[in-house]
A and B are shown apart, each in its own frame.
Chain A
Amino acid sequence: MPGLGASFGRGAATSFQEDMQNADCVLIMGSNMAEAHPVGFRFPMMARERGAQLIHVDPHFSRTSAMCQQYVRIRTGSDIAFLGGLIHYILENDRWFHEYVMAYTNAATIITEQYRDAEDLGGIFAGFNPETRSYDGSREAWQYEGHEGSGGRTQAGHAEKAESFSERTGSLDSATPPTDHSLKNPRCVLNILRRHYARYTPQMVARICGCSKEEFVRVAETVCANSGRERTTCLVYAVGWTQHSVGVQIIRAATIVQLLLGNMGRPGGGIMAMRGHASIQGSTDVPTLYELLPGYIMQPSALRDHGGLADYLKQEEVKTGFMANLPKFLVSLLKAWYGEAATRENDFGYNWIPRIDGNYSHLACTVRMLEGKMRGMFLFGQNPAAGAPNGRANREALKKLKWLVVRDWFEIDTAAFWHKGPENPDPAAIGTEVFFIPAAASAEKDGTFTNTQRLLQWHDKAVDPPEDCRSDTWFVYELGKRLKKLYAHSTRERDQGLLNLTWDYEFDHAERLPDGSISRIHGETDVAKILMEINGYTVADRQQVADFNGLKDDGSTACGCWIYSGVYPEKGRNRARSRKRTPGVYTSPEWGFAWPLNRRMMYNRASADPKGRPWSERKKYLSWDEEEQRWTGPDVPDFEPKKPPSYRPNPDSRGMEAIAGDAPFLMKPDGRGWLFAPMGVKDGPLPTHYEPLESPLGNLLYPDQRNNPTIERYELPVNEYNPPNDEFPVIATNYRLTEHYLSGPMSRFNSWLNELQPGMFIEISPELASEKGIEHGGWMVAWNRRGAIEARAMVTRRIMPLKVHGRTVHQIGMPFHWGFAGETVGAIANDLTSISADPNVSMHEAKAFTVNVRAGRLKGHAEIEPLPPAPWPTREESPETAKSDQPEGQAI
């Protein structure tokens, strides 16, 4: 997440779930943690039982809200106003942690004279180019004084995203930009911050968000009272923050709050990004993403001077801080992919890596599909026909494909799009060739998931997958082998990358299952070999490297994903498979492997004061051991282990030598947490309140700038945006229920979950229901320019109208788990959401959109028959089990 990356250096959750029990206050916003992550919610509950305050700020009173001592209802999409209000409150009431902020953040750094704030320019910052709708001029206008033009690179419109390390950490010519620690200079970051948030008063927060002034002040006071030397507050978010046209900026606002309060890198503090999929963190680290190579290395781009390897490394060079090591990581990646064929002479095969030349993000590709530009599609465990924004557009897009390969367990919505669905498709009119290749379940394969706290955990294969079901490594490996054969005789340069691709993952000996039997699967991959390649090894003698500090830029080492290096430090030692508890150590360092270098809490140097002493006994974690001359504590220091607090760099120091002994954010070129982000985000150096792309309201702060000026819109006949008028006066949001998962492929085929939540519903307030004549339990319709859905009405006070801008505004909420495949079927919430993209990560805005509602049902809508529920129990007795020990239900 660039929101975290731009402020701290890395884009992942900064701490680990277990540490939340040490919080004195947990502020949950943009997350329905109790419902979406019930087991993770154990830790806030433990904190609560130890006396901590839990606060939930959310449009919808959920099971999370029910567990918190404070619940504040806000309008969906108004989060920056609320967080900006917090920043204002902290600064205005002098509640910021002075010593922490002055030492560890860029509060005192002086910003260029060219900078103009959104407050000066009516809602946009200096450097904006209205033609490209992007901040082309930010490399000058947002920079540190004296660094104009040095750091930010060419802003290439919407093609490139802000997710790579070189992009988000930025680069500076020197790690010691000009500062004024007296804070007299009006261009100091802290003073700019004060001015930027001056109008985010409690009154303004109340007017924009729809909560009361008192509710807001109580939250602000609770958070401030539970931060500082002795106490810490943890902040939790999830897709309730990311799925907005300003998602990255909401998270940036949270980072500013946590930096000002001194909660980063400390026990019970930090920002927990709660991810939604078993390995969504992993699939970003080892990216199946178009603009990244493994380890957040930027995919080479034709829009930058990335012609040869040297050009690329010059363009992306980060002079100071840890990312100065980039050349080692990229060259080692090329060696891992192309093996012996990667030589210094051929730039280590750099030219075989494809260049990006535009936006190929998920939804941009959906639009390309709609335009007929895609021939084929591989789908691995994803369900865009129901799970992606604007479901209808996604289903239409599938019809334009020549072929589609679906890898899944069940006939999910997307696999069935050609014969089933709300539009009642006619198979005779759909030319897509569809393959359903059955997949193995996680219990049927070895492999690693990276969880929400960057923890790599290996799961052992328990049994063979049934019949033709196969793991995805089997599928990709097998496909690779067949393609290599098809191209075997090619001498064309463009095919040499494929032919030289190292591709040897078979078992050396027959695969043995845990019960001692021999696997019947032919050609299954030895997944440990893949993880060993990801870890990295020395080329000459094929020894595993201990960690990324052992990587070189001369071609002598290979490494598939540098941030994971250390997970497999020697043959036979898979740390992701380590399942040991360390008595008395709550960081559990031998349970799995947390990247980077098994650090559980990132930026933990900040848990000690500048001199290396704990801020307080109560919140001690890491400290400098003067005798041993090293950092000690319950975790791997996120710092050079022997760098003393007193270390100071020279102005011309490079790499890690440029990072001072009291600069905890070592990924950043100046080692500081960035309150003000001179680079790394594409829509402003400071978070600013904009209305959602679809909102019935204007922007109270900037009347002339309703939305984020840099949103990428896709105006298509199937993707119209709702106008900001009374046609669609109701604000809608969506969320998860504990009982289901995503768009349903992993829950709607399961009777034990279906009976708990058997159908789609819309939550609506008694006020709106009575206004529209909608009855509790009756049918209702919600519609907008993109679609219409019908669902049961759940009339509840958990959803309430708000007083916003002095008028009453209605909100509705709905789960998004249904579709047309499975044992339970129902309306697709995503048929109402739109395709759009925020400029940093191409995120759409499913958490805030507009609709209108009425009582009744839809006419002419396809009635979809659900699958008959699977017979249960399966009538198969437990093997090798006495009659008396069979499950009790087996008798029924």
Chain B
Amino acid sequence: MNEGLVQIATDLRDTWTRPEPPAAQEETGFFTDTTLCIGCKACEVACKQWNQLPADGFNWTGNSYDNTVTLSDTTWRHVAFVEQHDAATDSMRWLMMSDVCKHCQHAPCVEVCPTGALIYNEFGNVYVQQDVCNGCANCVVGCPFGVIARNKADGRAHKCTLCYDRQKDGMVPACAKSCPTESIKFGKVSELREQARQRVEQLHARGETDAYLYGNETWGEYSALNSFFLLKDKPIVYNLPEAPRRPAAHLKRNYLFSFMASVALTAVSALLFSGGERG
């Protein structure tokens, strides 16, 4: 009884007051090194366990060992499997990669969110605030990686939180903690970037010259990713965009285009209408 009243009072207060934002912390992120991934999917289950997410359904795809197919509103880590056969040497290569929200430094999803549900939290991670999200789904189309999805049941947008709740208590995100082979590394972004550069150097020295970093730094029109990857083949092979597009980067050109188009249309219609008067 009292609890209900307290809740109403709290809700009212929260509506009218804005809480003090937390102080900035060192930025954190993931460095996912696919050369160490054994494709066990512990990250997928650890994520579901910690966040108590439902399964996406039981659909055997035949797409190698990948049956969860994609990141979704209820799958926030997804392991991709790529079977490659080299006919010349008759040898197999099986690439595995644990995909996740990229936690872009300049995230289109945050830019397009009209409600303030999407924020950069104190760790510099992109976070969807469930108590703010109104389910408009602008972010879903804004994300060039197809990370965010809207849940049919609650209507809101969901994605990897980078275990915001765990980080608040100094804990490692569930996926990185579970990863048996340290393919998923969690830490301060500045340190991860250095670690990643060294790893690439080490692999190159070993003769694995196809190793490179994806999203380690700004490229094209896109910002660096706080959750970045070491890959062994072209991004497209892992279903990652070669050159992700940031809608905001096209705004000026798009505005100009719209403006020109409206001018042209106005001119045309003016012409037509004037012609009509004449007629």
Q: Is B154's CB under 8 angstroms from A891's CB? A: yes
Let me know if A823 is at the binding interface, CB within 8 A. yes
Q: List 16 A-B contacts (CB under 8 A).
A: A34-B38, A34-B39, A39-B180, A45-B36, A61-B94, A738-B40, A754-B58, A758-B60, A777-B62, A797-B83, A872-B54, A885-B165, A888-B51, A888-B130, A888-B158, A889-B54
Complex Cα distance, B61 from A757, in Å, reads 9
Question: CB-CB contacts of B48-85 with A at 8 A, as 1s and 0s?
Answer: 11111111111110101101100001100000000101
Shortest 9 CB-CB contacts between residues of A and residues of B? A758-B58, A887-B52, A751-B55, A66-B94, A777-B62, A755-B55, A759-B60, A889-B52, A889-B53
In the bound complex, residues from chain A placing their C-beta under 8 Å from that of B45 are 752-753, 756
Complex Cα distance, B51 from A889, in Å, reads 5
Given A754-B58, A792-B62, residue A872 in contact with residue B52 (CB < 8 A) = yes
**Contacts of A632-656 to chain B: CB distance below 8 A:** none
- Residues of A bordering B, CB below 8 Å: 34-35, 38-39, 41-42, 45, 49, 61, 63, 65-67, 71, 737-739, 751-759, 761, 776-777, 792, 794, 796-798, 823-824, 869, 871-874, 885, 887-892
Q: Which residue of B lies closest to A66 (CB)?
A: B94
Let me know if B254 is at the binding interface, CB within 8 A. no
Q: Is A38's CB under 8 angstroms from B38's CB? A: yes
The residue from B49, B96, B161 contacting A63, defined by CB atoms under 8 A apart = B96
Let me know if B92 is at the binding interface, CB within 8 A. yes
In the bound complex, residues from chain B placing their C-beta under 8 Å from that of A39 are 180
Given A63-B96, A738-B39, A797-B85, residue A756 in contact with residue B67 (CB < 8 A) = yes
B185 to chain A, nearest CB (A): 13
In the bound complex, residues from chain A placing their C-beta under 8 Å from that of B55 are 751-752, 754-755, 869, 872
Given A872-B55, A873-B52, A889-B54, residue A756 in contact with residue B92 (CB < 8 A) = no
Q: Is B94's CB under 8 angstroms from A798's CB? A: yes
Q: Which residue of A lies closest to B66 (CB)?
A: A756
Complex Cα distance, B65 from A761, in Å, reads 11
Complex Cα distance, B278 from A718, in Å, reads 97
Q: Which residue of A lies closest to B45 (CB)?
A: A752
A678 to chain B, nearest CB (A): 42
B207 to chain A, nearest CB (A): 11
Q: Is B92's CB under 8 angstroms from A758's CB? A: no
The residue from B38, B44, B64, B68 contacting A41, defined by CB atoms under 8 A apart = B38
The residue from B60, B83, B91, B94 contacting A792, defined by CB atoms under 8 A apart = B60
Q: Which residue of A lies closest to B87 (CB)?
A: A797
Q: Is A38's CB under 8 angstroms from B54's CB? A: no
In the bound complex, residues from chain A placing their C-beta under 8 Å from that of B59 are 758
**Contacts of B157-171 to chain A: CB distance below 8 A:** 158, 161, 165
In the bound complex, residues from chain B placing their C-beta under 8 Å from that of A890 are 52
Q: Is A38's CB under 8 angstroms from B42's CB? A: yes
In the bound complex, residues from chain A placing their C-beta under 8 Å from that of B218 are none
Let me know if B103 is at the binding interface, CB within 8 A. no
Complex Cα distance, B161 from A49, in Å, reads 31
* Centre residue among B54, B57, B96 by max chain A CB count within 10 A: B54
In the bound complex, residues from chain B placing their C-beta under 8 Å from that of A34 are 38-40
Q: Is B60's CB under 8 angstroms from A755's CB? A: no
The residue from B48, B56, B67 contacting A757, defined by CB atoms under 8 A apart = B67
Q: Is B130's CB under 8 angstroms from A66's CB? A: no
Q: Which residue of B lies closest to A766 (CB)?
A: B85
Tell me what chain B mostly uses at the interface: helix, strand, loop, or mixed: loop
Q: Is A752's CB under 8 angstroms from B49's CB? A: yes
Complex Cα distance, B164 from A885, in Å, reads 10
B3 to chain A, nearest CB (A): 11
Complex Cα distance, B58 from A869, in Å, reads 9
Q: Is A63's CB under 8 angstroms from B62's CB? A: no
In the bound complex, residues from chain A placing their C-beta under 8 Å from that of B92 are 61, 65-66, 71, 797-798
The residue from B49, B67, B83 contacting A755, defined by CB atoms under 8 A apart = B67
Complex Cα distance, B158 from A761, in Å, reads 32
In the bound complex, residues from chain B placing their C-beta under 8 Å from that of A823 are 58
**Contacts of B74-125 to chain A: CB distance below 8 A:** 74, 83, 85, 91-94, 96
Q: Is B52's CB under 8 angstroms from A41's CB? A: no
In the bound complex, residues from chain A placing their C-beta under 8 Å from that of B93 are 66
A818 to chain B, nearest CB (A): 11
Q: Which residue of B lies closest to A797 (CB)?
A: B85
Question: CB-CB contacts of B172-183 with A at 8 A, as 1s and 0s?
Answer: 000000001100
The residue from A45, A739, A752, A871 contacting B38, defined by CB atoms under 8 A apart = A45
Given A63-B39, A798-B94, residue A38 in contact with residue B60 (CB < 8 A) = no
A856 to chain B, nearest CB (A): 17
- Residues of B bordering A, CB below 8 Å: 36, 38-42, 44-45, 48-60, 62, 64-65, 67-68, 73-74, 83, 85, 91-94, 96, 130, 151, 153-154, 156, 158, 161, 165, 180-181
Q: Which residue of B lies closest to A64 (CB)?
A: B38
Complex Cα distance, B44 from A759, in Å, reads 18
The residue from A755, A871, A891 contacting B130, defined by CB atoms under 8 A apart = A891
A26 to chain B, nearest CB (A): 14
Given A41-B181, A66-B96, A797-B85, residue A892 in contact with residue B158 (CB < 8 A) = yes
Q: Which residue of A lies closest to B73 (CB)?
A: A892
In the bound complex, residues from chain B placing their C-beta under 8 Å from that of A759 are 58, 60
In the bound complex, residues from chain A placing their C-beta under 8 Å from that of B54 are 751, 871-873, 889, 892
Complex Cα distance, B36 from A448, in Å, reads 32
In the bound complex, residues from chain B placing their C-beta under 8 Å from that of A757 are 60, 65, 67
* Centre residue among A66, A871, A873, A887 by max chain B CB count within 10 A: A66
In the bound complex, residues from chain B placing their C-beta under 8 Å from that of A892 are 53-54, 73-74, 151, 153-154, 158
Complex Cα distance, B50 from A66, in Å, reads 29
In the bound complex, residues from chain A placing their C-beta under 8 Å from that of B41 are 738-739, 756
The residue from A71, A755, A889 contacting B58, defined by CB atoms under 8 A apart = A755
In the bound complex, residues from chain A placing their C-beta under 8 Å from that of B57 are 755
Q: Is A38's CB under 8 angstroms from B180's CB? A: yes
In the bound complex, residues from chain B placing their C-beta under 8 Å from that of A888 are 51-53, 130, 158, 161, 165
Complex Cα distance, B270 from A692, in Å, reads 89
Q: Which residue of A lies closest to B159 (CB)?
A: A888
* Contacts A41-B180, A823-B58 known; 10 new A-B pairs at CB < 8 A: A38-B42, A61-B94, A751-B54, A752-B55, A755-B67, A792-B62, A798-B83, A888-B53, A889-B48, A889-B74
A692 to chain B, nearest CB (A): 25
B12 to chain A, nearest CB (A): 15
Q: Which residue of B lies closest to A751 (CB)?
A: B55
B119 to chain A, nearest CB (A): 15
Complex Cα distance, B27 from A304, in Å, reads 73
Complex Cα distance, B58 from A752, in Å, reads 10
In the bound complex, residues from chain B placing their C-beta under 8 Å from that of A752 are 44-45, 48-49, 55
In the bound complex, residues from chain A placing their C-beta under 8 Å from that of B68 are 755-756
Given A63-B39, A756-B68, residue A824 in contact with residue B153 (CB < 8 A) = no
In the bound complex, residues from chain B placing their C-beta under 8 Å from that of A873 are 52-54
Q: Is A63's CB under 8 angstroms from B40's CB? A: yes
Q: Which residue of A lies closest to B86 (CB)?
A: A797
In the bound complex, residues from chain B placing their C-beta under 8 Å from that of A61 are 92, 94
Complex Cα distance, B60 from A871, in Å, reads 20
Q: Which residue of B lies closest to A33 (CB)?
A: B38
In the bound complex, residues from chain A placing their C-beta under 8 Å from that of B73 are 892
In the bound complex, residues from chain B placing their C-beta under 8 Å from that of A755 are 55-58, 67-68
In the bound complex, residues from chain A placing their C-beta under 8 Å from that of B180 are 38-39, 41-42
Q: Which residue of A lies closest to B84 (CB)?
A: A797
Q: Which residue of B lies closest to A826 (CB)?
A: B60
Complex Cα distance, B74 from A751, in Å, reads 13
Complex Cα distance, B91 from A890, in Å, reads 46
Q: Which residue of A lies closest to B93 (CB)?
A: A66
Q: Which residue of B lies closest to A890 (CB)?
A: B52
Complex Cα distance, B63 from A777, in Å, reads 9
Q: Is A794's CB under 8 angstroms from B52's CB? A: no
B121 to chain A, nearest CB (A): 13
Complex Cα distance, B96 from A65, in Å, reads 13
B126 to chain A, nearest CB (A): 14
In the bound complex, residues from chain A placing their C-beta under 8 Å from that of B85 are 797
* Centre residue among B42, B45, B53, B55 by max chain A CB count within 10 A: B55
